[in-house]
Amino acid sequence: MSHLLTRLALRRLVAGGNCGRYLPSSLSVTPGAAGAAMAVVKPWDDVAVVRGQGLGALVGQWRRMVSSVPEHAAPPEKEKKESGEAAVMGEKNDEMMVSSYWGISKKRIVREDGSDWPWNCFMPWETYHSNVTIDLKKHHKPKNFIDKVAFRTVKILRIPTDIFFQRRYGCRAMMLETVAAVPGMVGGMLLHLRSLRKFEQSGGWIKALLEEAENERMHLMTMVELVKPKWYERLLVLAVQGVFFNAFFVLYVLSPKLAHRIVGYLEEEAIHSYTEFLKDINSGAIENVPAPVIAIDYWRLPKDATLKDVVTVIRADEAHHRDVNHFASDIHFQGKELREAPAPLGYR
Give the residue among 152, 156, 141 at the shortest CA–CA distance from 326.
141
Low-confidence ranges of the chain (pLDDT < 70): 1-100
Determine the pLDDT at residue 12: 54
Contact between 267 and 321 under an 8 Å Cβ cutoff? The reply is yes
CA distance 67 to 22: 12
Q: How many CB atoms lie within 10 A of CB 153?
A: 16
Q: Which residues contact 347 (CB under 8 A, 6 or more apart)?
A: 208, 320, 323, 324
Determine the pLDDT at residue 136: 94
Contact between 252 and 186 under an 8 Å Cβ cutoff? The reply is yes
Determine the pLDDT at residue 176: 86
Determine the pLDDT at residue 78: 45
Long-range contacts of 66-71 (CB under 8 A, 24+ apart): 66/22, 66/24
CA distance 261 to 267: 10
Residue 114: strand, helix, or coil: coil
Residue 259: strand, helix, or coil: helix
Contact between 185 and 167 under an 8 Å Cβ cutoff? The reply is no
Give the residue among 278, 297, 296, 298 at the shortest CA–CA distance from 288.
278
Of all helices (H) and strands (E), which one includes residue 20?
none
Regarding pTM above 0.85, the answer is no
CA distance 213 to 187: 10
Are β-strands 95-100 and 87-92 bridged in parallel, bridged antiparallel, or unpaired?
A: antiparallel
Q: Which CATH class is domain 143-338?
A: mainly alpha
The residue type at 43: P
Determine the pLDDT at residue 148: 95
Determine the pLDDT at residue 105: 77
